[in-house]
Amino acid sequence: MLDMKFLRENPEIVKQNIRNKFQDRKLPLVDQVLQLDQENRDIKKEVEALRAQRNKLSKQIGALMGQGKKAEAEEVKAQVAANAGRVDELSQRERQVEEEIRKIMMTIPNIIDPSVPIGKDDSENVEVERFGEPVVPDFPIPYHTEIMERFSGIDLDSARKVAGNGFYYLMGDIARLHSAVIAYARDFMIDRGFTYCVPPFMIRSNVVTGVMSFDEMDAMMYKIEGEDLYLIGTSEHSMIGKFIDTVNPEENLPYTLTSYSPCFRKEKGAHGIEERGVYRIHQFEKQEMIVICKPEESPKWFDVLWKNTVDLFRSLDIPVRTLECCSGDLADLKVKSVDVEAWSPRQQKYFEVGSCSNLGDAQARRLQIRVAGADGKKYLAHTLNNTVVAPPRMLIAFLENNLNADGTVNIPQALQPYMGGKTKLS
> How far is 144 from 163, CA to CA, in rounded Å?
21
Buried b (16+ CB within 10 A) or exposed e, 133-142: ebeeeeeebb
R_g of the chain computed on alpha carbons: 28
Whether 63 and 99 share a structural domain: yes
Q: What is the DSSP string of 227-284?
A: SS-EE-SSHHHHHHHTTTTEEEEGGGPPEEEEEEEEEE---TTSS---SS-SSS-SEE
Residue 202: phi, psi to the nearest 5? -130, 145
Q: 14-47: per-residue pLDDT in tens?
A: 999 999 999 999 999 999 999 999 999 999 999 8
105, 137, 164 - which closes a domain: 105
Whether 132 and 237 share a structural domain: yes
Whether 82 and 43 share a structural domain: yes
Whether 126 and 98 share a structural domain: no
Whether 263 and 351 share a structural domain: yes
Residue 112 included in any domain: no
CATH label of the domain that carries residue 60 = 1.10.287.40
> How far is 426 from 18, CA to CA, in rounded Å?
53
Residue 115 included in any domain: no
Q: How many domains does the chain have?
A: 2
Whether 387 and 360 share a structural domain: yes
Q: What pTM, to 2 d.p., does this model score?
A: 0.90
Amino acid at 297: E
Q: 211-259: per-residue pLDDT in tens?
A: 998 778 888 899 999 999 999 999 999 999 999 999 999 999 999 999 9
For the ranges 179-183, 357-361, 388-392, the lowest mean pLDDT is seen at 388-392
Whether 215 and 87 share a structural domain: no
Residue 240 included in any domain: yes
> How far is 24 from 6, CA to CA, in rounded Å?
20
Whether 128 and 272 share a structural domain: yes
Whether 131 and 274 share a structural domain: yes
Whether 38 and 148 share a structural domain: no
59, 80, 105 - which closes a domain: 105
**131 C-beta neighbours (distance < 10 Å), count:** 16
Give pLDDT, residue 82. 83
State which residues form the domain around 70.
4-105
Whether 226 and 286 share a structural domain: yes
Q: 138-182: per-residue pLDDT in tens?
A: 999 999 999 999 999 999 999 999 999 889 999 999 999 999 999
Whether 389 and 356 share a structural domain: yes
CATH label of the domain that carries residue 172 = 3.30.930.10
